[in-house]
Structures are given as C-alpha cells and as structure tokens.
Amino acid sequence: MCAFARLDLYLIRHGVTTWNKEKRYLGHSDEPVEKDRLKDLFAIKNELKDVSFDGGIWTSDLKRCQQTLQYLLPENFYNVDERLREYNFGDWEGKTYDDLKEIVEYRQWIDNWQGNRAPRGETGKGFTERIQSWVDEFFSEIEEPSASFCKNCLVVTHGGVIRYLLSTLDGSKSFWDWRVNHGEGVKLSFIFREGKWECSSLSAVPTPEKGNS
C-alpha cells in the first residue's frame, strides 16, 4: 500500500511503420506497423508484463498504436480514443521534407507550426486542445484520491502527442526539446499534494538495465 496518493503514467510511442523509415509525414493516415519490427519492442514488452495497469490503458484509434499495444499486452482490455491521434498533416501526409521544402506554406509552418497549418490539415491550437481535453478528463476522474490510492496507467500513442504531454505534465522542457523513439517510452510518476497532481519524477521505459539485459 502507498503511504500517499500516487499515480504512474506510462507513455509509449508506437512501433515503426514504413513511412517512419522513409521519413514521411505521418499523422492521421492509418499506416500499420512493420510486423517484422515488433520484435524490437521485446525489452519494453518484457518490462510491462510485470506491471498491473489497474488505473487503465488507453490508445490512439490508429492501427499502428493498437497493433503496438496488442503486441505489448495481448491479454489486456484497453480504451480507444481518437483524441490521442497524431497531428493531422493534411495534404502533406506521406510527403518528405525534400518534397515540401520549396513550398512557401510549408516553410511558414516549419517556422511556426502552432500559428500555421497544412492545407486541409490541423491547426496547432486544435491539436493541443484535443489532447488537453483527454488530459483534463483523465485527471478529473481521480481528482480527490484517498491516501492509499496507488495506480498504474498506460497510454500508447504518437510522437507529437507524447511531446505535448511531457511538455505539459512535466514542464521541465519545451515541446521540441522532448524526443521519444518508436517503441520506447517514459514513465511519469505523480503524487497528489495540496489538492492537485504533481509530477515527482520521470524515467525511461524500458529502463537501461532491463533494456540491455
């Protein structure tokens, strides 16, 4: 039993897709993971199997996230939520930097992704607001935990979503300063103090010791 209310939130990025390897913009396009690369996730699969995710499991509705989760924890029930999708790159989906680098709209977006948008894509404001709506709902359900509260939660999602969550929930670095590789993740540990959840620590998943074993 925990001595104080505690919450561990695992954020895992989906496995590699063909478009990821080719460095193509991949947002709402429903690309599958490369099945023969799932074995690269064995270290994290081995670590997660010992964790009881009694606080719930969530995933983006896109197949690359669901396939990753089904490999990692094949027997577990999970919640599918489209708010955990990657940024929508609109007409730039499937394109590379070299395909787009001469386009003025693209250069403007690179300089200010939050203030500009891809043609038929998503605004930065829309992207962050939909993820924040999931965050607000997630914490509202456990707003007043008892002192014995101690739960583990898991989210399998996309690189951009994880960047936003880390920049918001941890706050030690900005959006672009965070990077989590495909098939890897982080664990955020929270304690409930003075009426709110505070991030007390952050660690890599899998841990270096287990990842190298």
CA dist 186 and 166 (Å) reads 9
- For residues 101 and 81, what is the distance between their CA atoms, to the nearest angstrom? 33
**Where in the chain are the domains?**
6-90+126-211
Eight-state DSSP code of residue 23: T
- Cβ of 135: how many Cβ atoms within 10 Å? 14
Per-residue pLDDT of the chain (213 residues; tens, 9 = 90+): 456 799 999 999 999 999 999 999 999 999 999 999 999 999 999 999 999 999 999 999 999 999 999 999 999 999 999 999 999 999 999 999 999 999 999 999 999 999 999 999 999 999 999 999 999 999 998 867 887 899 999 999 999 999 999 999 998 888 889 999 999 999 999 999 888 899 999 999 998 765 444
**CATH number of this structure's domain 6-90+126-211:** 3.40.50.1240
pLDDT in tens, 98-118: 999 999 999 999 999 999 999
